[in-house]
Amino acid sequence: MRQILAVSFCLLAAAGMFGQPLWTGNISEVVRVEASSASGLEGVYVLDGLSGVSVSCQTTEEEAPSIRWYRYSSLGGGYAEELSDVRVDGASSVLTKIESDMGYIVEHPDGRRECFWVIDYNRHPFSLTSIVPSAERDCQRIALDVIGMGEEMAYYGINGRRFTLDRGIRLSYHTLTPDEEALMFHQTETAVDFASLPAVMRAPAPLCATEFTVEGDRFLRAWGHAEEFTSGSVEPYAVSGLTKITQNVRSADNEVAQNPSGTSFGGSAPCELEFEAAVTDGALFHEWQFSRYPEFDDVSLRIQDLNFAYTFNDEGVTYLRFVCANSDGSCEYTGEVYTVSIGASMLKCPNAFSPNGDGVNDEWKVSYSSLVSFECHIFDRYGHEITSFTDPSHGWDGKYKGKTVPSGAYFYVIKAKGSDGRNYELSGDINIVNYK
């Protein structure tokens, strides 16, 4: 005879007021899974077979004969039916016949109730027979066609609401992980978990050749005989890259320093940059692209080396980016855009200095920017060449053959060319003053 029960009768039990049911007759561990708080259940119990299994509720000898057991289906506790396959064993009330995929309610004489759900794992087995890459793919995710069993394991709350258990099925494989500081990729193992076994498993596309292993499930692991299946080796088709540009800055004594990496470079020509890039295994094509247009409508220069140095001499803004792709071009990586700005040229010459060692104006030097070529000659008043240099950052310290020359007038002749194409031909006096 079916008895209609109130839907809210198990809420106190779900909060943990009563003990868990005791199981006998099953040789494998009973796996208890925490039920959703919205289900009104104390827990979900998964058993490796129900043949000969009993479940009991511990109480007192006086109360045990008055314990009543109910069973409900997906309709919810409101449609529970009382069970008769119950015996009393001292202080225990024992249910001797259990069905899978059913909810059970234990009602005490004082009105307390305990509710739980039972699943026979043998009705929901996990197994695998095949894993192969699917024809479906994109450059971010891989799809794997799976043949096997591992359906959703559902349970129903006391109000008839459907919930599912997480079966803990794991897909594991290798991929490449970027190390931006070292500018390289490291091979690492990664995994994606699934609550049940889908017909198509989708995961982030691997960046190196790898095998895919599906292992499960959580219940077989608990019983010590998890199953796993490994695919054949799969070649990567997704690609990725890492890039870095560093600007070399030369000091007056010709030492080279490097500025911190960023995305904006330039200043005065010549501007020397060092380019570095790293790509993943599937990237069979790669190049650095140079353009005068931020959208790269026209690429003026392509360099296919990963690492190289390049000197910018022309005024204006150049946009740079790195591109790599797989063998058929179906997947492509485009790095961030860098800019190199070279200013207009300028050259100015002072007409006096005082090499007296006081630390003020002790050296004759030109002021300049963006010069791509430079040549300076300095003469005395008789036309004898005192010194010459081709680096505009250098200058004259007022010495000739190691000795400081007398004060008076000297002469310079300069030929130079700017990054903007401007030619400079300058000459004039250099007056050494305040010197004894």
Contacts for 431 with CB less than 8 Å, ≥ 6 apart: 351, 352, 353, 408, 409, 410
Residue with structure tokens 């890492």? 242
Predicted local confidence at residue 258, as pLDDT = 56
Predicted local confidence at residue 3, as pLDDT = 42
Q: Tell me the H-state helices in 52-99.
A: none
* Averaged confidence pLDDT in the chain: 90
Predicted local confidence at residue 380, as pLDDT = 95
What is the full DSSP assignment across 276-288?
Answer: EEEE-TT--EEEE
pTM: 0.77
CA 21/CA 58 separation, integer angstroms: 8
Angle value at C-alpha 164, between 158 and 166, nearest 5 degrees:
135
Cβ proximity of 69 and 106 under 8 Å? yes
Task: Summarize pLDDT for 70-121 with one digit per residue, the tens.
Answer: 999 999 999 999 999 999 999 999 999 999 999 999 999 988 899 999 999 9
Residue with structure tokens 């790095």? 335
Contacts for 75 with CB less than 8 Å, ≥ 6 apart: 156, 160
Task: Summarize pLDDT for 58-76 with one digit per residue, the tens.
Answer: 888 999 999 999 999 999 9
Contacts for 417 with CB less than 8 Å, ≥ 6 apart: 345, 371, 372, 373, 423, 424
Which class for 157: exposed (0-12), middle (13-18), buried (19 or more C-beta within 10 A)? buried
Task: Supply the DSSP symbol for 181.
Answer: T
| Regions of the chain with pLDDT less than 70 | 1-19, 26-27, 250-261, 435-436
Q: Virtual CA dihedral for 333, 334, 335, 341, nearest 10 degrees?
A: 160
Hey, what are 40's tokens? 């009104």
Predicted local confidence at residue 6, as pLDDT = 40
Q: How many other CB atoms are there within 10 angstroms of residue 290's CB atom?
A: 17
